[in-house]
Amino acid sequence: MIHQLLLQCQENFGAAPRHFSLWNRIAYLRIPMPEWLRKNPDDELMTHFNELRSLYTNGGVVWGHLIQANRRLYSAGNENHPGELVYSLDDQRNVDPAVLGEVAHSLYQLKGTRPFERDLQPIAQYLTDEHIRVYGLAVPRSVSPFMRCRISTTMFVRKHLPNGRLCRPLLPVVVSREEPNVAMTLPERYWPPRLIQWWTQT
């Protein structure tokens, strides 16, 4: 069932290259840049906004799993906030969302630690810092031995989330298959009803 839901997301969003109406682009799909980011143009989160048009046009729809996000996103509100996602660009028929969740959990456990393993140190540092941005950072094989995974910073947009908040850690995301591997939540309009029902029943 879970794979079928992702297939429906892919069908609803359409095959690349996609074309959206002017109204859709300026209203629903447009993501306003937060004022705090405008005041910090050197913040690497600018990459996310700079790549949005290409992402909408050519991005692939895959399962993503939340690693961490601003705690305000778990309750009602008006502001959008950044967070971190892990995903795989492998054939989605071979991607087990449960395993993706295990990888996300293992990554989050690195936060606030100083691992001895050299390949884990940059991940621990970036998750602990919460202001470092990454796009397509490869997950070491020691964390995900059977599935090639990547990590990307994203901006969680409330109008694109069912109920306007984070309800579950697993969600469909749109990812650029080329560098920089920018990722964003698939807007709710393209989610099948069964997925919305499941996602909001927490």
The series of mean pLDDT values per 10 residues for the chain, 202 residues long, is: 93 96 92 94 96 96 97 95 97 94 98 96 96 97 96 98 97 96 98 97 80
Omega of the bond leading into 180 within 30 degrees of 0 (cis)? yes
Dist CA 10 CA 171 (whole Å):
13
Q: pTM for this structure? A: 0.95
User: Which parts of 14-138 fold into alpha helices (H)?
Assistant: 22-23, 35-38, 46-50, 52-58, 97-108, 121-129
Helix axes 2-13, 193-200, angle to 10 degrees: 120
- Give the β-pairing of 135-138 and 81-87: unpaired
Look at residue 1 in the predicted model and tell me its pLDDT.
Answer: 76
Q: Match 């140190």 to its residue by tokens.
A: 121
